[in-house]
Structure 1
Amino acid sequence: MAKKMEKMRVDLEVITDQHKKFKLMADTNANELKVVDIRETSSMMEAQIIIGRTAEREKLLASLSESVTGEMTILPIYGIGGLGKTTLAKMIYNSNQFKEYSQVWVYVSQTFDLKKIGNSVISQLSEKESQYTGAQMIQSSLSKLLADKKILIVLDDLWEDMESHLDNLKAMLRVGKGSKVVVIVTTRDEHIAKKMSTIEPHKLAPLTDDMCWSIIKQKSDFESRDDNKELEQIGMEIAMKCKGCKIVKDDLIHQWVSLGFVEPPDVFSSWLLGERYIRQLLGLSFLQNSKSPSWRCDCTDGLCGTPVSGKSSGGL
């Protein structure tokens, strides 16, 4: 991994040098290009068996049933990318519990656009294309559409962490007089989840090894293979790795510093800045704290496995 990272750094330096040498200029018509976000989601459920989230769906539906008392209830679902946050939101969205609700699904993405979100809600509730450019027009339209109604809104893939923007988002969805609005938010960021929530956010845990093995078998059509007995042990070992390989935090920071990825300003040392990056990655659910600590040994070859004074090295 260290060699790959070093090669990447060298490649980036070559690209930068070429940019300067050939005096490359930014395309002035770049704003006219339309970029399609391949991560965009919808409420449609695939016609296949969902493994491992049924119990959580029932738990969250029960929690929402007890909590939907005020004008707006917000339940965030957060966790590492790829765990199934969007799938769990779809399971709630398509449940019988909300069949009497008007329903809205908004894919937010990393580019936060409050007007785009508002127009998407208006379009889906009114069944007419909405392209309001002014915030006041959006608010007025939402006030009419949300008033005295039961509405379920899913905000999928929320990345915006600026508190004022999140407050404006909540205020925009709270304008319906006499309405009962339930909002499901999916995000990787625990900070966002806590800022948005009106009830306890739900942290999505990784699937068990058995569940991961079941998914692998389903996706690979394992049971129909002639060699499934020979491959079963290999498949189970792969399933056990789905939760991630452990990383020693101190070693990771040392690699960043040695490869020049951490270039601190005057107010921080390299180590303090590395620690700060770790905290940010933990907050984004890119890394997680390891449940079982990793240990450093005090022998010269690093092979004995004896902990140093019983201190954890900070596993991730």
Structure 2
Amino acid sequence: MEKPIIGITMGDAAGVGPEIIVKALKSREVYDICRPLVIGDMKMLEKAAAQTGSQAVINKVGHVEECSFIHEKIDCLDIDLLPDNLPFGKVSPEAGNAAFQFLKKAVELARAGLIQAICTAPLNKEALHKGGHQYPGHTEILAHLTNTSDYSMMLSSPKLKVIHLTTHQGLIEAIQSITPERTYKVIRLAHDTLTRAGFKRPRIAVCGINPHAGENGLFGNGEEDNQLVPGIEQAAAEGIEASGPHPADTLFYKAARGDVDLVVACYHDQGHIPIKVLGLEEGVNITVGLNGGVIRTSVDHGTAFDIAGQNKADERSMIAALRSAAELAPKQ
């Protein structure tokens, strides 16, 4: 069985993306589990290699078939859109547009079956918008490019897995957008994803929206009963081991100690904060439910402009994201 080809998109090249890619591809473990192909800008990879002291050769390719997939020889599909003097650490429309184009190319390759998964370095939302692409982030771009309406963001770390009912919305808007149908669909996406990953009967627990999950109407206006419970009950009726709503302040603790396999968070910060407290270095962002079977994982941190180009970035989240991509990729 051949190892999957993972397309690594550079993200915003003015951030830490080039650096963490070069550092991650120093690891023999990465080449033991997959065949990595960087989709980005060759010039920025070469700069990052020089800054980090990497001895790797950057191998420019025009097609997947030209890749070598040899350790210390980084294959790069060069989407040559950036100026030679692009500075690290600054918002740039050119870098924002290029980040979008890197991802677009990766999706094309994935849908054509030429790569088996996508692993993304971070992009910068301000640069993305200035570059002409009005999306909140990677997840929404991927949904648009794959024509997907039912998708969700999953975060994974060694101790905790979290999937979200809503992500990049203001808190009031997010709560208003939660419906029983959305609750059911996200539970189903989580169940199917974990089942494909080898969980025989995934245990899925749903957070409440309000403090103490509403505490029988004491807090809120019945959001748990009206927006969450019917979806949970529908999933349970289909044989999915789904429970809740549970008070979020204790559920994440119980999940981290192994009582459940995955937590359904109602809004962005409810799910992101526990994962990041447990460790940014090993957090992985996974987009679940994309049409065409496109698998996408990502580092769970931003572009870190404050340290970009300074050889200070930590590559462990990128290695973890590549590991997850290899695990989830369809086997040839």
Q: TM-score range by the shorter chain?
A: under 0.3
Q: Which has the higher strand share?
A: 2
Rg larger for = 1
RCO comparison, higher one (Cα < 8 Å, 6+): 2
